[in-house]
């Protein structure tokens, strides 16, 4: 895993990427607090602390990045870049779909859109998992695990309020099962049904959590 | 004598049937997750937080504390029998523990681990009780400036003691601090970095961050490396160690207990560092170090005592100063906040039931754990046959339900998934997320204290170093600076890295 580029210069890809990520986060934060005052009457205002921390983070990021060019160190998994990038896109798409449908629902007054957003969430997450799973040369980006895990959690997030725990639980577990390379769909279904039943009894039942149990159509 | 009265009061609180039951549940859950690799106390405590809503604060904290020290007992079982650390604090136990098991001495190893843990737990509990009063009175003399400087020292310690790159640890601290400023500004009510999202107006919910970084990210990482489980098949017998074994292990238990107690109190320490430190110490002072790695009983006794001692004493800074020394204690802050308790010196004066009840319950819990772990070891071993492919979907579902229940907010679940992804990426880039969690919890209080101190000094940033006005603060800042310089000094860094080398 030691990255040794041609030419023999020592460098650590991991540190270079890590530094770049930190600088990126700091830049985003600075952009977001741009409208807040940087200093107030007694030295501190709402924008002071975030700016201080963001500058610190950027400086550290630069330091880590520079040291990455100077010393030898580990590289990054080849799957890291595509999977993280792909997942962030996936995330943003999911969020936009939900936001868009919600605002559409508000402007038209049709509450049904909420249900559609749940459905779209289900189709997107399920579809992506299926595609990732069925690709020739199975799981070539090493994305199947993360996709299935996050897909199942997002599916839960987007559907639980409308469909209820009793309906959401089984597909959620089935989706997450794709993350593992073992097991069968039958096992997933049986295990999912058992876990869902258990959680339905435990959380809204015994513990009295106010989580919706059945679909609210 | 006052200590005894207080402890008696604590036991009176802790032995009510309800609290005994909660302590037992905590110890059982702790053992369970300790035995199971792939889920740790941070994610578990975060996951169970919403469940404790209906309990009274004392009962809730008794249960959650039980999970932490219970995990220290359970972790050794897996380490010894499967050569796989059930918990990161039992990584070093696996080295010699599993070798002992291979030689047919699994029972002895398990017994020594449990006995050592119990002795260390008892000592740790007494230490918490003894140091509670004096530290609380010290903390009561603290002004905003002193508090701020104390937290700076805490974060510096977390950097010094973190494993891996110092630079990356500092970066994680800054990231945690930055994340803590998201939400509505305390003084002006302005929205900071919320993307205009309403659910972010109250800031990032602590549980979403903890669960994402430690629950989901761990699952993502575990799924990548399919582990081979090398379970020792023969029946575990001879749970009683011989006299010779005890004589051999006793000094290691004593040393582990003392070292673990100290490292537990220090910020950035905790059970994991304690175990590593104890193993290194045992190896260094051993007469024949070549025995280590081949089934040396001291290699089990030392670290196992140390991690449990640290699990108890890490409550000291939390309960007396209100400062979480490690990530697990940061989650405990989350738990206290949910129940409306502000961690700090006022707990002891305003909620003596909680303070002394929790301490007494720790000893009761340790006693229960010896019974839970030794005679019932077969039961826990059987749990290890549950394949991971069934474990992680269950964890996911529990986590999702738990996060959703905090505010009945689907957005929180989405945010948890986001942090899971971020945590996975950070781990891949060689970052350690634990200091970030501590910084996130401290960040909010730090900014508040900083601004109070600045207000009191009319905007003079040198007030923290003004010895005539804030002597405590000045000393703390000077110590922090010295520590930070030492941390980046090559000689000390080399020493520090040696502690984390496993073999």
Task: Provide the residue ranges of all domains of chain A, joining segments of one domain with +.
Answer: 13-70, 80-206
pLDDT means per 10 residues, chain B with 503 residues, are 81 86 90 81 82 84 88 84 76 83 83 88 88 82 82 82 79 90 79 72 82 83 67 64 81 89 80 83 81 82 88 87 84 85 83 86 88 81 78 86 81 84 85 85 83 76 73 84 78 61 45
Helix (H) or strand (E) run with residue B192 in it: strand B191-192
Specify the higher pLDDT residue, B13 or A205: B13
**Structure-token pair, residue B100:** 């002992």
Nearest to B446 by CA among B138, B159, B152: B152
Give B84-121 as a DSSP string.
Answer: S-SSGGGHHHHHHHHHHHHTT-HHHHHHHHHHHHHHHH
Q: How far apart are CA B407 and CA B405, in angstroms?
A: 6
| pLDDT on residue A170 | 87
Structure confidence by residue, pLDDT tens digits, A135-166: 434 554 566 677 778 888 888 887 777 778 88
Q: Give the per-residue pLDDT at B362.
A: 87
In this prediction, residue A62 carries a pLDDT of 92
pLDDT at A42: 64
Residue with tokens 């945690």, as numbered in its chain: B176
Instruction: Work out the end-to-end distance of chain A between its first and last CA atoms, rounded to an integer number of angstroms.
Output: 54
In which band, very low, low, confident or very high, does the pLDDT at A121 lie, cut at 50, 70 and 90? Answer: low
Instruction: Tell me the chain B residues in contact with residue A76 when contact means C-beta distances shorter than 8 Å.
Output: 428-429
- Nearest residue to B144 (alpha-carbon basis) of B448, B350, B439, B347: B448
From chain A residues 60-99, the ones with a CB under 8 A of any chain B CB are 60-61, 63-64, 67, 74, 76-77, 80, 84, 87-88, 91, 94-95
How many other β-carbons are positioned within 10 Å of the β-carbon of residue B233? 7
Query: Does the CB of A158 have a partner CB in chain B at under 8 Å?
Result: yes
Residues of A in contact with B168 (CB under 8 A): 18, 64
Q: What span, in angstroms and rounded, lies between the C-alpha atoms of A59 and A49?
A: 15
Residue B241 DSSP one-character state = P
Does the CB of A214 have a partner CB in chain B at under 8 Å? no
pLDDT score, position B128 = 86
Cα–Cα dist A154/B212, whole Å: 13
Taking the C-alpha atoms of residue B158 and residue B41, their distance in angstroms, rounded to an integer, is: 19
Q: Which of B170, B195, B393 sits opposite A177 (nearest CB)?
A: B393
Placement of tokens 């199971």 in the chain: B36
Kindly tell me if the per-residue pLDDT of A171 is higher than 90.
no
B50 Rama sector, left if φ>0, alpha if ψ -120 to 50, beta otherwise = alpha
Rounded to the nearest 5 degrees, what angle is found at the Cα of B383, between the Cα atoms of B382 and B384?
90
Give residue A57's pLDDT: 92
Q: Which of residues 165-224 of B touch A (CB under 8 A)?
A: 165, 167-168, 170-171, 174-175, 177-178, 181, 185, 187-188, 190, 192-193, 195, 216, 219-220, 223-224
For tokens 């549940």, the residue is B25
CA distance A68 to A74: 10
Query: Which residues, 6 or more positions from B365, have their beta carbon under 8 angstroms from its beta carbon?
Result: B23, B26, B27, B62, B65, B66, B69, B70
The DSSP line for B329-374 is HHHHHHHHHHTTPPPSTHHHHH-HHHHHHHHHHHHHHHHHHHHHHT
Which run of H or E residues covers position B183?
strand B183-184
Comparing B277 with A217, which gets the higher pLDDT? B277
So where are chain B's domains? 2-222+249-499
Q: What is the DSSP letter of B235?
A: P
- Binned at pLDDT 50, 70 and 90, residue A3 comes out as very low
Of B175, B393, B451, the CB nearest to A25: B175
Alpha-helix residue ranges (DSSP H) falling in B374-489: 377-383, 388-407, 410-428, 434-456, 471-488
**Other CB atoms within 10 Å distance of the CB of residue B321:** 22
Q: Does B424 touch chain A (CB under 8 A)?
A: yes
On whether any CB of chain B is under 8 Å from the CB of A161, the answer is yes
A chain contacts of residue B464, beta-carbon cutoff 8 Å: none
Q: How far B453 CA lies from chain A's nearest CA (Å)?
A: 10
Average per-residue pLDDT for chain B: 82
Handedness of CA A16, A21, A22, A27 (dihedral sign): positive
A58 touches chain B (CB under 8 A): no
pLDDT value of position B237:
64
């Amino acid at each position: 895993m030691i990255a040794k580029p041609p030419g023999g210069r020592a460098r650590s890809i991991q540190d270079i990427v890590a530094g770049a990520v930190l600088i990126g986060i700091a830049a985003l934060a600075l952009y977001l607090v741009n409208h807040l005052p940087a200093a107030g009457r007694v030295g501190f205002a709402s924008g002071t602390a975030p700016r201080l921390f963001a500058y610190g983070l950027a400086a550290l990021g630069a330091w880590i990045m520079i040291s990455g060019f100077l010393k030898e160190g580990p590289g990054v998994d080849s799957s890291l870049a595509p999977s993280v990038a792909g997942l962030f896109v996936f995330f943003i798409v999911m969020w936009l779909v939900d936001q868009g449908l919600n605002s559409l629902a508000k402007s038209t007054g049709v509450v049904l859109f909420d249900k559609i957003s749940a459905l779209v969430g289900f189709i997107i997450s399920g579809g992506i998992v299926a595609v990732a799973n069925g690709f020739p040369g199975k799981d070539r980006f090493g994305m199947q695990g993360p996709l299935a895990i996050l897909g199942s959690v997002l599916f839960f997030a987007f559907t639980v309020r409308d469909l209820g725990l009793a309906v959401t639980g089984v597909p959620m577990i089935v989706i997450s099962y794709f993350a593992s390379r073992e097991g069968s769909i039958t096992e997933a279904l049986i295990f999912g049904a058992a876990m869902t039943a258990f959680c339905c009894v435990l959380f809204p039942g015994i513990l009295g959590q106010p989580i919706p149990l059945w679909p609210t159509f | 004598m006052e200590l005894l009265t207080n402890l008696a009061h604590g036991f009176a609180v802790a032995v009510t049937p309800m609290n005994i039951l909660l302590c037992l549940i905590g110890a059982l859950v702790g053992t369970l997750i300790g035995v199971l690799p792939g889920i740790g106390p941070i994610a578990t405590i975060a996951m169970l937080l919403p469940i404790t809503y209906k309990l009274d604060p004392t009962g809730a904290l008794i249960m959650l504390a039980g999970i932490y020290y219970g995990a220290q007992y359970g972790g050794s079982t897996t380490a010894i029998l499967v050569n796989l650390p059930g918990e990161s604090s039992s990584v070093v136990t696996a080295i010699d523990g599993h070798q002992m098991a291979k030689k047919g001495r699994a029972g002895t190893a398990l017994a020594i681990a449990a006995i050592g843990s119990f002795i260390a737990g008892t000592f740790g509990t007494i230490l918490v009780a003894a140091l509670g009063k004096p530290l609380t009175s010290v903390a009561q003399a603290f002004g905003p400036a002193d508090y701020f400087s104390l937290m700076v020292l805490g974060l510096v310690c977390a950097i010094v003691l973190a494993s891996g790159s110092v630079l990356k640890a500092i970066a994680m601290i800054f990231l945690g601090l930055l994340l803590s400023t998201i939400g509505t500004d305390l003084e002006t009510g302005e929205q900071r970095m919320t993307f205009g999202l309403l659910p972010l107006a109250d800031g990032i919910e602590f549980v979403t961050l903890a669960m994402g970084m430690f629950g989901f990210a761990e699952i993502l990482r575990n799924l990548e490396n399919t582990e081979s489980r090398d379970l020792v098949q023969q029946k575990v017998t001879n749970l009683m160690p011989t006299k010779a074994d005890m004589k051999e292990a006793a000094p290691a238990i004593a040393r582990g207990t003392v070292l673990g107690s100290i490292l537990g109190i220090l910020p950035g320490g905790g059970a994991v560092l304690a175990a590593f430190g104890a193993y290194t110490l045992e190896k260094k002072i051993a007469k024949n170090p070549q025995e280590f790695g081949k089934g040396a009983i001291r290699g089990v006794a030392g670290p196992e005592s140390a991690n449990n001692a640290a699990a108890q004493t890490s409550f000291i800074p939390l309960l007396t100063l209100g400062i979480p020394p490690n990530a697990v204690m940061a989650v405990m802050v989350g738990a206290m906040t949910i129940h409306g308790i502000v961690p700090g010196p006022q707990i002891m004066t305003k909620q003596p039931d909680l303070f002394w009840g929790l301490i007494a319950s720790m000893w009761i819990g340790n006693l229960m754990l010896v019974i839970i772990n030794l005679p019932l070891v077969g039961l826990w071993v059987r749990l290890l046959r549950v394949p991971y492919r069934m474990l992680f979907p269950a964890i996911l579902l529990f986590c999702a339900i738990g996060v959703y229940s905090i505010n009945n907010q689907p957005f929180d679940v989405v945010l948890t998934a986001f942090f899971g992804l971020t945590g996975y990426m950070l781990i891949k880039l060689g970052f350690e997320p634990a200091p970030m969690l501590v910084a996130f919890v401290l960040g909010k209080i730090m900014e508040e204290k900083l601004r109070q101190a600045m207000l009191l000094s009319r905007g003079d940033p040198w007030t923290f170093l003004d010895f005539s006005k804030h002597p405590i603060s000045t000393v703390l800042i000077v110590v922090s600076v010295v520590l930070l310089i030492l941390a980046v000094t090559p000689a000390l860094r080399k020493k520090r890295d040696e502690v984390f080398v496993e073999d």
